[in-house]
Amino acid sequence: MKIELFEMERMQSTWENVVDIDLSESGVRAVTLRELAALGFDLDGALDTPLSYSQGNGTIELRQLLGRHYPGATPDHVEVTNGTSEANFIIALTFEQAVNERTRLLYLSNPNNPTGRILSSDDMERIVRRCEETETWLVADEVYQGAELNGRQTPSFWGISDRVVVTNGLSKAYGIPGIRIGWIVGPPALVQECWTQHDYTTICPNKLSDALARVAVGNREKLFARTRAILREQLPLVRDWITTFDGLLELREPDAGAFCLINYKSDLPSHELAERIRINQSTLIVPGSQLRLENCFRLWFGAPPEKLREGLRRIGTELRNVL
Ligand SMILES: Cc1ncc(COP(=O)(O)O)c(C=O)c1O
């Protein structure tokens, strides 16, 4: 089977630790272990934890905590995975196995990456009804839920229909990508099938990560508040910077997430622009082309503010040379 190169991911893994300033990310600057200890994680207890395998589908305690955020969901509706990406992957594998000529799968992310936009409840309803009519499974990736600029939590697709499966994780709105925890919420029979796939992919989530995730999910509102405060503080830096370009740049205002799309008025292909910025300014952005868009780039504004300011200055220098 030929697997298409995930260009953006490869570009990020190649350069993000090499450049001076990485503004290609999508979550907020990450929470530290110390911050999680302040929220109740037992650091000292962790020193004595045997580093054995953890419960394959996530500890019951973690699945219970997660289930509370999805009305009607029990631990049997939840499968804990190594990141949202494994959650999405396992679902794709599970459906592939069960596939017949009538099986279809629609994947969407809401809030959306890369636009940062949130669907209206009417749009959500329409999408779900269309999935029901066509017997399509809807996989709703809600990893940016909780990272809304206006502070109003994006409603979940969970519960709108039996054909909905939700994926989510700690990487974005919780600000904890490094411990690699994600989850699937779906009908128990489907979740069982996902567990079967999970036995082959990675067996189980990391044991310490499961413990950290219990603290994170138990303190969800505090972590979401931290994220939203960072977003609200830092998006204005981008807005102000854009006004210095006399209309050459246009911000596509995000509703959620720590990234935004910026359109530019020039025929210069976005991958050339991003390469110039990387080579001449040691700063990484995502070219629109890697998102199947043109005349735009995606910018991360969730970085530490001094990095963001310096990154904007460097991108600005290059933009003024080429636009
Ligand atoms: C919509 C979406 N889903 C999943 C992921 C990956 O999440 P995780 O780090 O939890 O695997 C990303 C990362 O950028 C994303 O934007």
pLDDT value of position 3: 85
Residues 6+ apart with CB under 8 A from 106: 127, 131, 136, 137, 138, 139
How many whole angstroms from 48 Cα to the centroid of ligand 1? 32
Decide: 171 in ligand 1 pocket, CB within 6 A. Answer: yes
Residue nearest to ligand 1 atom 16, measured at CA: 113
Q: Which residue's CA is the closest to the ligand 1 atom numbered 7?
A: 84
Q: Which of 7, 31, 85, 118 to mutate to test the pocket of ligand 1 (most atoms within 8 A of CB)?
A: 85
Residue 271, classified by CB atoms within 10 Å of its CB into exposed (0-12), middle (13-18) or buried (19+), is middle
| Predicted model pTM | 0.96
Q: Whose CA is nearest to atom 2 of ligand 1?
A: 143
**What's residue 2's pLDDT?**
85
Ligand 1 contact, 110 CB (< 6 A) = no
Ligand 1 pocket test target in 84, 176, 260 with most atoms within 8 Å of CB: 84
Residue 283 has pLDDT above 70, yes or no: yes
Would you say the CB of residue 177 lies under 6 angstroms from ligand 1?
yes
DSSP string across 220-263: HHHHHHHHHHHHHHHHHHHHHHHHTTTTSEEEE--SBSSEEEEE
Note the pLDDT tens digit of each residue in 162-193.
999 999 999 999 999 999 999 999 999 999 99
How many angstroms separate the alpha carbon of residue 83 from the centre of ligand 1? 7
> How do residues 9-22 score in pLDDT, each as one tens digit?
999 999 999 999 99
What is the predicted pLDDT for the residue at 97?
A: 59
State the closest ligand 1 atom to the C-alpha of 257, by its place in the atom list counted from 1: 16
pLDDT at position 246 over 70: yes
Does the structure show a pLDDT above 80 at 314?
Answer: yes
